[in-house]
Chains A and B, each alone.
Chain A
Amino acid sequence: AQKVTQAQTEISVVEKEDVTLDCVYETRDTTYYLFWYKQPPSGELVFLIRRNSFDEQNEISGRYSWNFQKSTSSFNFTITASQVVDSAVYFCALNTNAGKSTFGDGTTLTVKP
């Protein structure tokens, strides 16, 4: 069975602070994909990143960076110099069977001006 745990239910930071959202996953499959999505108040899920299980390279995209560590089954997401527009619910997801993803329960990030 697949499981994704986002232990942080809510995080509040002040603008320009760095913030890290944690994601821990469980799977017995050796091939899998990990995702991060952003869900703004408008409701739709916005894709941020996908990594496969064979690629442990960290990735940076602007103010966003992701740290994938298979040894600890973690795929953490860091926002550098946070902005008010980053306020949203962020979901980590795991996919081991094309199309069927298991989502964590999300972390609500509030960035205060």
Chain B
Amino acid sequence: EAGVAQSPRYKIIEKRQSVAFWCNPISGHATLYWYQQILGQGPKLLIQFQNNGVVDDSQLPKDRFSAERLKGVDSTLKIQPAKLEDSAVYLCASSLVFRPLEQYFGPGTRLTVT
């Protein structure tokens, strides 16, 4: 069974530029999560989708971050404009709807903002 796929794996941009990350969850997993992991810290949930609807985006900085999951499968997370403090690893995870505690994580995208 294929795991959660993410791309790109690494991205370097200058502040004020925009960037987008892509995630493809495990087939059949209706729930998708985006986490931000700043160096030296644990992951922090940014947004949770169930199919193409948002379940929780209370910790998403909506002035600059946006996410979508238009067809209920793949998802993109965008930052516009990026700030230095956005440098982090962005992890995508997925789970079955009725097993939210069993989350499978992708390898992450490491973003460096200079």
Q: Is A50 an interface residue (CB 8 A)?
A: yes
Q: Is B33 an interface residue (CB 8 A)?
A: yes
Q: Find A98's partner among B89, B91, B100, B106 (CB 8 Å cutoff).
A: B100
Q: Evaluate contact between B43 and A45: CB separation under 8 angstroms.
A: yes
Q: Evaluate contact between A93 and B42: CB separation under 8 angstroms.
A: yes
Q: Is A87 an interface residue (CB 8 A)?
A: no
Residue in A closest to B40 when the chains form the complex, CB atoms: A105
CA A103 to CA B42, docked complex, whole Å:
5
Q: Evaluate contact between B105 and A45: CB separation under 8 angstroms.
A: yes
Chain B residues in 8 Å Cβ range of A43? 89, 91, 107-108, 110
Residue in A closest to B98 when the chains form the complex, CB atoms: A98
The DSSP consensus for interface residues of chain A is strand
Shortest beta-carbon distance from A77 to chain B in Å: 15
Q: Evaluate contact between A99 and B42: CB separation under 8 angstroms.
A: no
Q: Find B42's partner among A46, A91, A100 (CB 8 Å cutoff).
A: A91
Chain B residues in 8 Å Cβ range of A42? 107
Q: Find B44's partner among A47, A99, A103 (CB 8 Å cutoff).
A: A103
Q: A43-B89, A45-B91, A95-B101 are in contact. Are A101 and B45 (CB under 8 A)?
A: yes
Q: Is A33 an interface residue (CB 8 A)?
A: yes
Shortest beta-carbon distance from B82 to chain A in Å: 20
Chain A residues in 8 Å Cβ range of B42? 4, 91, 93, 102-106
17 further A-B pairs in the complex, CB-CB below 8 A; given A99-B33, A99-B101: A43-B89, A43-B91, A43-B107, A43-B108, A43-B110, A44-B91, A44-B106, A47-B102, A50-B101, A91-B42, A98-B100, A99-B31, A99-B55, A103-B44, A105-B40, A105-B41, A106-B41
User: 9 tightest CB-CB pairs across the interface, nearest first?
Assistant: A103-B42, A99-B100, A45-B105, A98-B100, A43-B108, A43-B107, A44-B107, A44-B105, A105-B41
